[in-house]
Structure 1
């Protein structure tokens, strides 16, 4: 589709960035998280030896990033409602650049973990604000399409990142991967300076921190919003657990090298690119309710397959580990659109809460492998089955309750993305 036509989707013009620059900025916001998480995973099994520390301390560089990523989303979303999207964007990318630079220069594992905290806060802020900008800047008819494009980029990140990371790390060392992220952050920071505000003065929340937090609490009191959000976010828990253990399974249990691991990891992530198209094709016949039910059930089946078939070799593990990523990729875009439709105002707070809950549940998935499991495959399969069982129960209860869920229960069909 030609950019001039796409430009007609905008309801908040960007005279400096234009449609191409805005889409690029939103793309980086989506691409940044998987890039920051997955680009250095080929080096994770060796980091304990490099810093003379424990594997659990090294895992904090992954889980710590993601925990602070969720905090960044929760903080910067409401801030963008109060002070505007542009200041929140600029501050987020500034934090990300500083964190990435410190990662590249870290002399100890403690400094490295702290640097990842800063990097996570910045990435979380950019992610949360970008979701609010989509609702501000694009008309309702095409908003879902933009979210779908962002989801594809979010999925492509785990495909490209480990392959790129393996090449950079094998030739230049693990620090070079963070120098590359610093360059990406600087480019995004420059684009954020050119970004033009998308929320009007009249649309901003007035008052101090108490008022801002109050608006966040008001969104959280929407029962349909919260139950639906938690139910579909259970897929995030399994997906992030996979990210946390994949290198240990492929390289530790099955003995693969850096590049072979990256190819297997990328294959599981690559299938997620088909998620939005798969939803578009199937949902026309099934509708949102049945499709969501099927996605959650298939995610649970994926956990069962990991516990059984996944132990038959690295290829079997690679194949069955594709189930949850593709279900997550199917559900994420349309569920985000449905969630944003539950709130007519407080878009930044709603975006922050969406990202925060997903991040918290995802962080739980990354922390689960730290428990004393017999092996990492058991950790991943049990985490997946428990998470998806909870998601199925919540979804069924929501559908059978009298709790409203706009565009899904009784109102009107969900807008196509």
Structure 2
């Protein structure tokens, strides 16, 4: 298939391409949100404790974080479509392994394989956006894509709860096999956005060494830190809420799915607000505002969890505010980093994603390691990470700063 140049599509994605890119970017949430209501049932079936089953999320994040460091340079060298196709095949293989697992250890290992495949879709879909857009337009497009892809976590837990009610938790992973196969078929309708003349001819080992140079850029660390700490908070939320809601507050898996979906509605709204405001106020300012909101929501949550103030509502309300902050933090942190290094979109997207999801490993693992049957470990991790996100946004991304010696892309 012939490559699509930025000029040919910069004034609007076709609905077909928008749908495919949204699906690719949604693989991170599809792979986890669908099976969240089944975590307690999995723990029982695999004869594992809650902490061990929560580590299946951490295992996924390990594969997702490290895999991006490979797929980014591969995508810069060989284009976007072929690596995505290979990643989807790995995702399908990992999903089959999860469905056939007989222990928590097997599940953790196959989740890592699943993640290495899934992350190719996510990191290279973001790079494709940067192939076509820069600056505020990239932030706006990422917000639009994230709004569309939020349908996955919006319906994922509810759908997972329904599958669990009709079949078993293993059927959830067979469903993911079907999703992978359908997406692989749809990939044929996605144009290549990186022409041969714009690809990076450097050997892979040299491209991987470029990460060390990127990590010396203070502004890049600011974007990565703001998003990374926030991802740690979000994955603490993902790992902790099934047990906080279902086990501690005795909700059904279906009601848990409904509460999870309400948070995603907030995320969708703030993504659209961000898309409308980003040209007026700038992506950095909105990222700082979102980080401040996440920090305040985390402190509120910690107080409620420590005192049991408000019961279930004392958890739901600040967690809703936390999830809603996604719309102001994630798209703007990614767009800011990509705009600063336009010739290395794949590698920068991979590095940012690896740091963000690597932080998610820490967030979800801490909740699992310190699980005590109450919401307190989750709340404590979220509050700490919210403050970390705010400090990175305020201290490492000064308003007029730019990476020294490296170009900053201008808006079209």
Q: TM-score, normalised by structure 2?
A: 0.88
Alpha carbon RMSD of aligned pairs, Å? Answer: 2.8
Distance (whole Å) between structure 2 residues aligned to residue 372 and residue 345 of structure 1:
42
Pairing of 1:344-355 with structure 2 (within 5 A)? 344-355=342-353
Q: Deviations over 1:195-216 (max 9, x none)?
A: 4432222322224332121333
Pairing of 1:280-291 with structure 2 (within 5 A)? 280=275, 287-291=282-286
Partner of 1:319: 317
Is the 2:267–2:327 Cα contact (8 Å) retained in structure 1? yes
Partner of 1:81: 76
Partner of 1:256: 251
Q: Deviations over 1:266-297 (max 9, x none)?
A: 21222111112333566677554543333222
Distance (whole Å) between structure 2 residues aligned to residue 320 and residue 222 of structure 1:
33
1:398 to 373, 376, 396: 396
Asked if 1:371 is matched to 2:396, the reply is no
1:171 to 166, 170, 173: 166
2:266 to 271, 287, 292: 271
Is the 1:9–1:139 Cα contact (8 Å) retained in structure 2? no
Look up the SS of the partner of 1:221 in the other structure: coil
Asked if 1:185 is matched to 2:180, the reply is yes
Q: 193-202 vs 59-68, which deviates more? A: 193-202
1:47 to 12, 37, 42: 42
Distance change (3 Å), C-alpha of 1:376 and 1:121: farther
Partner of 1:306: 301
Distance change (3 Å), C-alpha of 1:45 and 1:285: same
Distance (whole Å) between structure 2 residues aligned to residue 272 and residue 9 of structure 1:
31
Distance change (3 Å), C-alpha of 1:10 and 1:205: closer
Q: CA deviation at 1:139?
A: 7.0
Distance (whole Å) between structure 2 residues aligned to residue 261 and residue 396 of structure 1:
35
Look up the SS of the partner of 1:226 in the other structure: helix
The size of the alignment, in residue pairs, is 401
Is the 1:82–1:212 Cα contact (8 Å) retained in structure 2? no
Which structure 1 residue ranges, 5 or more long, are not aligned?
1-7
Q: Deviations over 1:356-413 (max 9, x none)?
A: 111111221111112335554221222122212222223332355985269xxxx99x
Q: Deviations over 1:300-353 (max 9, x none)?
A: 111121123353222331122111111122222222222111012011101111
Pairing of 1:6-405 with structure 2 (within 5 A)? 11=7, 19-138=14-133, 142-280=137-275, 287-310=282-305, 311=308, 312-372=310-370, 374-399=372-397, 403-404=401-402
Distance change (3 Å), C-alpha of 1:314 and 1:235: same
Distance change (3 Å), C-alpha of 1:370 and 1:107: closer
Distance (whole Å) between structure 2 residues aligned to residue 91 and residue 225 of structure 1:
29
Is the 1:247–1:261 Cα contact (8 Å) retained in structure 2? yes
Q: 366-375 vs 125-134, which deviates more? A: 366-375
Q: 224-233 vs 38-47, which deviates more? A: 224-233
Look up the SS of the partner of 1:52 in the other structure: coil
Look up the SS of the partner of 1:346 in the other structure: helix
Distance change (3 Å), C-alpha of 1:11 and 1:103: farther
